């Protein structure tokens, strides 16, 4: 069974100084050991990379690119998926909801994914099961 990985948990798994680093890293490893397929989109990769680069620097970006991304199935967002995410974002009308999250929800629904490796409550609000507490 597949699980969707979000920026919030990927960032926390990579950055040792994050409050929930140990929890996210342990859960990421547990998912891999259990044979769960971890999926995400290139929007999440872009968002995670930008946060790592801005907040910490390029070394964590290299680590993310070389050690984490090879373990994840990254799906490229099509024009259609982008448009569906944009419509959802505007329909939801929530300032705190990002386009990346809206596209993630649309991707998850289309792929039949219910589980999110995420710290972001927006996923739970959208009806997905957070694997983090």
Per-residue pLDDT tens for 56-77?
A: 999 999 999 999 999 999 999 9
- Residues 83-101 have pLDDT tens digits of 999 999 999 999 999 999 9
pLDDT for 4: 98
Arithmetic mean of pLDDT over the chain:
96
pLDDT at residue 22 tops 90: yes
pLDDT for 20: 96
In sequence order, the 6+-apart residues with CB closer than 8 A to the CB of 82 are 103
Confidence tier at 43 by pLDDT (50, 70, 90) = very high
- Residues 97-124 have pLDDT tens digits of 999 999 999 999 999 999 999 999 999 9
Question: How many domains are there within the chain?
Answer: 1
State the CATH number of the domain containing residue 68: 3.40.50.1010
pLDDT for 61: 96
How far from 77 is each of 36, 49, 73, 93, 100, CA to CA, in Å? Answer: 22, 16, 13, 22, 10
This prediction has a pTM of 0.95
Residue-number span of the structural domain to which 14 is assigned: 2-130
Residue 30's SS3 state is helix
pLDDT at residue 132 tops 90: no
């Amino acid at each position: 069974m597949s699980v969707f990985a979000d920026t919030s948990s990927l960032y926390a798994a990579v950055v040792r100084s994050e409050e929930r680093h140990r929890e996210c890293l342990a859960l990421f490893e547990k998912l891999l050991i259990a044979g769960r397929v971890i999926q995400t989109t290139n929007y999440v990769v872009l968002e995670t990379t930008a946060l790592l680069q801005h907040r910490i620097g390029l070394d964590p970006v290299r680590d993310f690119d070389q050690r984490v991304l090879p373990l994840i199935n990254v799906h490229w967002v099509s024009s259609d998926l982008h448009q569906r995410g944009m419509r959802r974002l505007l329909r939801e009308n929530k300032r705190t909801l990002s386009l990346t999250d809206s596209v993630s929800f649309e991707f998850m629904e289309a792929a039949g994914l219910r589980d999110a490796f995420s710290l972001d409550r927006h996923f739970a609000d959208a009806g997905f099961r957070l694997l983090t507490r």
